[in-house]
């Protein structure tokens, strides 16, 4: 397995020399300044590639290996007539990436919002900070701030009672903070209560679909892009829904092994694969991650190795745990991925959603992407890999 690191470009507080010091060699990045549906030109791609790969004298080499993400335009997800145009643009972007030697693309098909957390700076007993999703806080936002129609039907009675209590005890400033955090996953929105109407509009555009209809929109897209991906030698790894269950009445189609079976069988292709985000899938207690890594190992083109811990009193709430802690048997997952590499592949992985800790507590950091927390996570995963290397070296020849 090859050690990767997500880099958000020249404005990332974690710079390329920081990544070199961490020991990672494979850069996972995107052209974040280009909006979904716009073409990534060869000039823009080459400019970013040169920033990464033109190594200063005396420095270690880095390689732009994985794109995370080239987002399909909403017209594709919604099955609108314009999807033909935006799919052609997406394919042209893929061609341009392939011509630059970048052959792995992580993408998602999440409706309206890309990820959801209720707290970006949750205090842990250690004094470090973590990302957190609290189901009752989310319900308070959904019912009392967003005021989504029939939102109450999405929650059980204990959650509704907790949500009402949480909302009543939030100040106006705190309500604004919750709105800002929970609309941050909406592409193009700065978040906050001032953007709630935009948020409502986007939800309404997707709420016309059930799961079956939304699956068909993904199938339509894959039927058009995968033959070209095969010609180019490009691998597409879909990212799971985050969190992997229905939210806000929206369809979720990448949450379980059954979902993955459907995706791979609906459009069979050697380029149709998975970004195994261990922490995301692990939020569901019914997802057995070692089994999933074994079952879909040949389809794993890229991996996010992190862990999550579900609350004992509310299993729909969770925190981002340490990379080899939490509810997931990370050692077993890594062993399954190493077994999947026996076909000669080297899967790129990256540490993900590290804790904010030590000097990063007072630093400007991207939530979930502090340098020191991810460095700790990478070191822990590297230790697991080294143990497997040692065991392998002791086996009879």
> What average pLDDT does this structure show over 348-353?
97
Q: Are residues 97 and 133 in the same domain?
A: no
> Residue 114: is its pLDDT beyond 60?
yes
Establish if 171 belongs to a structural domain.
Answer: yes
Of the chain, the percentage scoring pLDDT greater than 70 comes to 97
Average pLDDT over residues 317-330: 96
- State residue 195's pLDDT score: 78
Instruction: Please tell me the predicted confidence (pLDDT) of residue 392.
Output: 81
Active-site residue identified among 214, 277, 327, 329 = 277
- Same domain for 157 and 263, yes or no, is no
352 is catalytic: yes
Instruction: Give me the mean pLDDT over the 306-316 stretch.
Output: 95
Residue 239: active-site member: yes
Q: Which of 12, 142, 241, 352 is catalytic?
A: 352
Rounded average pLDDT over 106-118 = 92
Geometric angle at alpha carbon 333, from 329 and 338, rounded to 5°: 150
For the question of residue 369 being annotated catalytic, the response is yes
Provide, rounded to the nearest whole percent, the portion of the chain with pLDDT above 90. Answer: 90
Residue in 71, 73, 239, 323 annotated catalytic: 239
Checking if the pLDDT of 184 tops 90, the result is no
* Nearest by Cα to 66 from 393, 279, 303: 303
**192 pLDDT exceeds 80?**
no
Residue 315 lies in a domain: no
pLDDT at 143 over 90: yes
Query: What pLDDT is stored for residue 175 in this prediction?
Result: 93
279 and 221 within one domain: yes
Query: What is the SS3 string spanning the chain?
Result: CEEEEECCCCCCCCCHHHHHHHCCCEEEECCCCCCCCCCCCHHHHHHHHHHHHCCCCCCCCCEEEEEECCCCCHHHHHCCCCHHHHHHHHHHHHHHHHHCCCCEEEEECCCCCCCCCCEEEEECCCCCEEEEECHHHHHHHHHHHCCCCCHHHHCCHHHHHHHHHHHHCCCHHHHHHHHHHHCCCCCCCCCCHHHHHHHHHHHHHHCCCCHHHHHHHHHHHHHHHHHHHHHHCCEEEEECCCCCCCCCCCCCCCCCHHHHHHHHHHCCCCCEEEEEEHHHHHCCCCCCHHHHHHHCHHHEEEEEECCEEECCCCCCCEEECCCCCCCCCHHHHHHHHHHHHHHCCCCEEEECCCCECHHHHHCCCCCCCCHHHHHHHHHHHHHHHHHHHHHHHHCCC
Do residues 276 and 302 both lie within one domain? Answer: yes
Is 214 in the same domain as 289? yes
Q: Is the pLDDT of residue 187 over 70?
A: no
Q: Which domain holds residue 52?
A: 2-111+210-310+321-394
- pLDDT bracket for residue 326 (50, 70, 90): very high
In a domain, 139, yes or no: yes
**What is the reported pLDDT for 40?**
98
pLDDT single digits (tens) 252-268: 999 999 999 999 999 99
CB contact at 8 A, 359 and 304: no
State which of 206, 224, 248 marks the end of a domain: 206
Domain harbouring 267, CATH code: 3.20.20.150
pTM: 0.95
380 and 331 together in one domain = yes
227 Cβ neighbours under 8 A, 6+ residues apart: 269
- State the total domains in the chain: 2
Domain boundary (158, 185, 206) is at: 206
340 vs 393, which has greater pLDDT? 340
What was the pLDDT predicted at 397?
67
Q: How confident is the model at residue 286 (pLDDT cuts 50, 70, 90)?
A: very high
In a domain, 292, yes or no: yes
Choose the catalytic residue: 73, 304, 323, 355.
Answer: 304
**Which residue, of 206, 228, 244, is where some domain finishes?**
206
Helices 42-53/83-99 angle, 10° precision: 40
Q: Is the pLDDT at 190 greater than 60, yes or no?
A: no
Active site residue 106: no
Q: Are residues 246 and 224 in the same domain?
A: yes
């Amino acid at each position: 397995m090859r050690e990767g690191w997500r880099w958000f470009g020249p404005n990332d507080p974690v710079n390329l020399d920081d990544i070199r010091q961490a020991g990672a060699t494979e850069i996972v990045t995107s052209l974040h300044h280009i909006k979904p549906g716009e073409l990534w030109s060869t000039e823009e791609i080459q400019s970013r590639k040169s920033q990464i790969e033109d190594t200063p004298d005396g420095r270690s080499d880095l390689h732009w290996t994985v794109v995370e993400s080239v987002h399909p335009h909403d017209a594709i997800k919604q099955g609108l007539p314009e999807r033909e145009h935006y799919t052609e643009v997406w394919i042209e972007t893929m061609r341009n990436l392939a011509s630059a030697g970048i052959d792995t693309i992580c993408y998602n098909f999440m409706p309206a919002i890309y990820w959801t957390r209720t707290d970006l700076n949750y205090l842990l007993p250690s004094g470090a900070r973590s990302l957190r999703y609290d189901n009752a806080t989310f319900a308070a936002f959904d019912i009392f701030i967003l005021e989504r129609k029939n939102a109450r039907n999405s929650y059980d009675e204990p959650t509704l009672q907790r949500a009402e209590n949480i909302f009543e005890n939030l100040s106006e400033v705190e309500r604004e903070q919750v709105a800002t955090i929970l609309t941050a996953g909406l592409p193009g929105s700065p978040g906050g209560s001032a953007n709630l109407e935009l948020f409502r509009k986007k939800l309404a555009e997707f709420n016309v679909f059930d799961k079956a209809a939304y699956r068909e929109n993904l199938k339509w897209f894959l039927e058009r892009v995968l033959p070209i991906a095969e010609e180019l030698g490009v691998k597409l790894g879909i990212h799971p829904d985050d969190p992997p269950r229905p939210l806000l009445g929206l369809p979720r189609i990448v949450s379980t092994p059954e979902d993955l079976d459907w995706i791979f069988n609906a459009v069979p292709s050697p380029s149709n694969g998975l970004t195994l985000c261990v922490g995301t899938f692990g939020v569901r207690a019914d997802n057995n991650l070692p089994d999933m890594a074994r079952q879909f190992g040949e389809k794993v083109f890229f991996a996010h190795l992190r862990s999550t811990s579900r609350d004992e009193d509310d299993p729909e709430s969770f925190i981002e745990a340490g990379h080899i802690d939490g509810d997931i048997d990370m050692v077993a997952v890594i062993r399954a991925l190493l077994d999947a590499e026996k076909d000669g592949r080297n899967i790129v992985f990256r540490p993900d959603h590290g804790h904010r800790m030590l000097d990063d507590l007072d630093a400007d950091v991207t939530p979930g992407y502090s340098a020191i927390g991810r460095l700790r996570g990478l070191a822990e995963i590297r230790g697991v890999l080294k143990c497997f290397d040692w065991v392998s070296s002791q086996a009879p020849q």
